Amino acid sequence: MKRRILGKTGLELTELSFGAGAIGNLYAPVTQQAAHDVMEVSWASGIRYFDTAPFYGHGRSERRVGDFLRGRSEYVLSTKVGKLLTPVSNENIPDYGFVDPLPFAVHFDYSYDGIMKSFEMSLARLGLNRIDILYVHDLEPSGFSEAEYNHHLTDFLDGGIRALNELKDRGYIRAFGLGINQVSACLNVLSRADIDVILLAGRYTLLDRSAELALLAECRKRNVALVIGGVFNSGILAVGPKEGACFDYQPASSDILQKVGSIQETLKVSDVDLAQAALQFPLQSDLVATVLIGSAKASSMLRNVKLLSPSVPSSVFETVEKFTLHQ
């Protein structure tokens, strides 16, 4: 599998990478064997970059990823900081969409001490002695009240960024950045802090190009790389404009269904599959190091890997631009 350099970090990422949210039992139970199988298929397909987070399954995803990678070499691993896990009784486990999560609650902490503690706890859950990339998880206004967001942002800028720089300077990590969904939140941090990479979900896709103008220009100016997740916009670009198809985790509106239908029909003229175009679209930019794909099924992951070829000509993406979102 082809590899790309992650901006100014020197890290090499495979063009397709494995996102471990689903194997944290997101929305559905996943057996230990199934989790191993989907990572094994990913590895056998050439994928060498794996991304996880404490939040996924309240630690379950990190444990599974660590168990799989232990004893292997030449991989790149990322996890996230900003959400600390604290033990709770079984009857008090909060519901964040993970089935049968481990018995922990999640608390936001973007401070110096919070990020240092999160890093150490992740190493312990992973059972590994290194993490290559740390993403600051969900530091965006949509997840908080205005006062809460300003508080967490201040904690990060006053101390969290110093923790990440210290970890990098000491050689404990190779890179750090944001793991986020909102373009405005990315721009807000970029104007105040020097980071290496943004893991951006759902905002630079075949359908939603919200990041294309301001954010990509700012990333190029500051030599910040992009890892792109959510390329199917939570489903609709994988299954097409079917009734009940989801866009951004909600049933797609009639307007979105119509736009995707127009994109699909336009692609057919060039004999290009919708899902294939969706997966390959972000890789048109040299700022994008990898496309992050999450799945709990080996068969689905293998199907996604096959979408990498043949290459879709760049001219094809231009033909569908008029149907895309640029808000």
Over residues 129-170, the pLDDT tens digits come to: 999 999 999 999 999 999 999 999 999 999 999 999 999 999
Assign domain 3-323 to its CATH superfamily: NADP-dependent oxidoreductase domain (3.20.20.100)
**Model confidence pLDDT, tens digit, residues 22-57:** 999 999 999 999 999 999 999 999 999 999 999 999
Is 196 assigned a catalytic role? Answer: no
Catalytic annotation present for 51 = yes
Active site residue 80: yes
pLDDT at residue 326 is higher than 90: no
Among 37, 49, 56, 221, the active-site one is 56
Q: The whole model's pTM is what?
A: 0.97
Where on the phi/psi map is residue 57: left (φ > 0), alpha (ψ -120 to 50), or beta? left
Out of 49, 80, 110, 208, the active site residue is: 80
Q: What's phi and psi for 81, nearest 5 deg?
A: -130, 165
How far, in Å, are 192, 223, 232, 285 from residue 271 at the CA level?
45, 35, 19, 22
Residue 156, classed as helix, strand or coil, is helix
Per-residue pLDDT tens over the stretch 236-271: 999 999 999 999 999 999 999 999 999 999 999 999
Q: How many Å apart are CA 252 and CA 235, to the nearest integer? A: 10
Looking at 8, 27, 51, 95, which residue is catalytic?
51
